[in-house]
Chain A
Amino acid sequence: MKILIIEDEKDLREVMTRSLEKERFVVETAVDYPSALQKINDYDYDCILLDIMLPGGSGLSILEELKKLRKRESVIIVSAKDSIEDKVTGLDLGADDYLAKPFHLAELHARVKSVIRRHQSDGDIKIEIENLIVYPDNHTVFINGEELKLNRKEFDLLYYFVTNPNRLINKTTLAESVWGDNIDQADSLDFIYSQVKNLRKKMKTAEAIPEIKAVYGFGYKLMTIPEA
Chain B
Amino acid sequence: MKLIHHTLSKLSIVMIIILSIWAGFFYFSILDEILDETDDSLENYKNLIIQQVLRDTAALDNHNDLMSQYFIKEISEPQAVRYKERYFDSTRFYETEYEFDPVRVLKTAFRGQDKKFYELTVMISTLEQDDMIEAMLQWIVILYFTLLICILIVSEIVFKKSLAPFYKLLNWLNDFTLGGKNPPLENPTKVKEFRKLNETILKMTRRNEELYSQQKQFIENASHELQTPLAICRNKLELLAERPDCSEEQLQEIEDIHRNLGRIVKLNKSLLLLSRIENGQFHEVKEIELNPIIKELVEDFQEIYEHKNLQIEVEETAVCKVRMNESLANILVTNLLKNAMIHTPNEGSITIRIQSAGISFTNSTDGLTLDQNRLFTRFYQADNKKSESTGLGLAIVQSITKLYNFRITYSFDGKHHFNLRF
Given contacts A83-B220, A179-B304, contact A103 B231 (CB under 8 A): yes
- Contact flag A187-B304 (CB < 8 Å), given A170-B258, A182-B338: yes
In the assembly, what is the distance between CA of A185 and CA of B255, in Å? Answer: 12
**Which stretch of A10-18, A69-77, A116-124 is in the interface?**
A10-18
Which of B68-76, B169-177, B235-243, B359-367 participates in binding chain A?
B235-243
Q: Which residue of A lies closest to B297 (CB)?
A: A182
Q: How far is the CB of A123 from chain B (nearest CB, A)?
A: 32
**Contact in complex: A215, B266 (CB < 8 Å):** no
Q: How far is the CB of B267 from chain A (nearest CB, A)?
A: 9
Contact check, A191 vs B304: say whether CB atoms are below 8 A apart. Answer: yes
CB under 8 Å from chain A, chain B span 202-260 = 220, 223-224, 226-228, 230-236, 238-239, 241-242, 248, 251-252, 254-255, 258-259
Q: Are A184 and B231 in contact (CB under 8 A)?
A: no
The reply to whether A105 and B235 contact each other, CB–CB distance below 8 Å, is yes
* Partner pick for B231 among A101, A168, A171, CB 8 A cutoff: A101
B260-288 Cβ-contact flags toward A at 8 Å (1 or 0): 00110110010010001000011010000
A-B pair number, CB within 8 angstroms: 130
Give the most central of B254, B255, B306: most A CB within 10 Å.
B255
- Indicate if the CB atoms of B248 and A217 lie closer than 8 Å: yes
Any B CB within 8 A of the CB of A177:
no
B223: A residues at CB distance < 8 A:
80-82
CB distance from A52 to the nearest CB of B (A): 9
Whether A170 touches B231, Cβ cut-off 8 Å, given contacts A182-B334, A185-B263, A186-B386, is no
- Write out, one digit per residue, whether chain A residues 172-207 have a CB within 8 A of any chain B CB (1) or not (0): 110100010111111110110011000000000000
User: Chain A interface residue count: which class?
Assistant: 35 or more
Given the complex of chains A and B, what is the CA–CA distance between A83 and B272 in angstroms? Answer: 10
Residue A104, interface by CB 8 Å? yes
The answer to whether A182 and B304 touch (CB under 8 A), given A11-B236, A53-B224, A170-B258, is yes
Nearest-CB residue, chain A, relative to B253: A217
A6 CB to nearest B CB, Å: 14
Distance in Å from the Cβ of A99 to the closest Cβ of chain B? Answer: 10
Q: Are A172 and B327 in contact (CB under 8 A)?
A: no
Asked whether A153 lies within 8 Å of B254 as measured between CB atoms, the reply is: no
Distance in angstroms between the alpha carbons of A18 and B259 in the assembled complex? 22
Residues of A within 8 A of B281 (CB): 83
Given A12-B231, A102-B230, A185-B266, the answer on whether A218 and B259 have CB atoms closer than 8 Å is: no
B388 at the interface (CB under 8 A from A): yes
Instruction: Choose from B234, B241, B327 the contact partner of A168 (Cβ within 8 Å).
Output: B241
Please tell me if the beta carbons of A191 and B252 are within 8 angstroms of each other in the complex. no
Within 196-228 of A, Cβ neighbours of B (below 8 Å) are at 215-219
Q: How far apart are B335's CB and chain A's nearest CB, in angstroms?
A: 10
What per-residue 1/0 map shows which CB atoms of B371-396 lie under 8 Å from chain A? 00000000000000010111000000
* Chain B residues near A170 (CB-CB < 8 A): 238, 241, 255, 258
CA A186 to CA B254, docked complex, whole Å: 18
Question: Are B327 and A84 interface neighbours, CB within 8 A?
Answer: yes
Query: How long is the Cα–Cα vector from A12 to B227 in the complex, in angstroms?
Result: 11
Residue of chain B at shortest CB distance from A103: B231
CA distance A15 to B227 in the complex (A): 15
Complex alpha-carbon distance, A185 and B388, angstroms: 6
Given A195-B303, A218-B252, A218-B254, do A186 and B389 touch, yes or no (CB 8 Å)? yes
Chain B interface mostly helix, strand, loop or mixed? helix
B231 contacts A172, CB within 8 Å? no
- B254 proximity list for chain A (CB < 8 A): 218
- Which listed residue, B227, B282, B284, touches A80 by the CB 8 Å rule? B227
CA distance A39 to B107 in the complex (A): 128
Cα A22 to Cα B239 in complex, Å, equals 10
Name the B residues within 8 Å of A100 (CB-CB): 227
B238 touches A218 (CB 8 A): no
Residues of B within 8 A of A16 (CB): 235
Partner of A106, one of B228, B232, B238: B238
Query: Which residue of A11, A184, A218 contacts B251 across the interface (Cβ within 8 Å)?
Result: A218
Contact indicator B239/A18 (Cβ below 8 Å) = yes
How distant is A83 from chain B, measured CB to nearest CB, in Å?
Answer: 7
Docked-complex contact A153 and B389, CB < 8 angstroms: no
Give the distance in Å from the alpha carbon of A80 to the alpha carbon of B223 in the complex: 7
In the assembled complex, B342 has its CB within 8 A of some CB on chain A: yes
| Given A182-B300, A191-B303: A216 in contact with B248 (beta carbons within 8 A) | yes
Q: Given A53, A84, A172, A190, which contacts B262 in the complex, CB threshold below 8 Å?
A: A172
Chain B residues with CB under 8 A of A171: 255
Q: Is B305 an interface residue (CB 8 A)?
A: yes
In-complex Cβ contact of B235 among A12, A84, A188, A217 (8 A)? A12
Most interface-central of A11, A100, A215, A218 (chain B CB within 10 A): A218
Instruction: Report if A19 contacts B (CB, 8 A).
Output: yes
Whether A15 pairs with B251 at a CB distance below 8 angstroms is: no
Q: A106 to B241, alpha carbons, bound, how many Å?
A: 12
Task: Say if the beta carbon of A147 comes within 8 Å of chain B.
Answer: no
Complex formed: what's the CA distance from A80 to B251 in Å? 28
Query: Which residues from 1 to 43 on chain A have a C-beta closer than 8 Å to any C-beta of chain B?
Result: 9, 11-12, 15-16, 18-19, 22
What is the minimal beta-carbon distance from A68 to any residue of chain B, in angstroms? 27
Sample (14) of A-B pairs whose CB atoms are under 8 Å apart: A11-B236, A12-B228, A12-B235, A80-B226, A82-B227, A82-B269, A101-B227, A101-B228, A106-B238, A183-B304, A184-B266, A185-B388, A186-B342, A217-B255
- List 10 additional A-B contacts (Cβ < 8 Å) besides A19-B238, A186-B390: A80-B226, A80-B231, A84-B327, A170-B258, A171-B255, A183-B304, A187-B304, A194-B306, A216-B248, A217-B252
Top 4 A-B pairs, shortest CB-CB distance: A102-B231, A186-B389, A80-B227, A80-B224
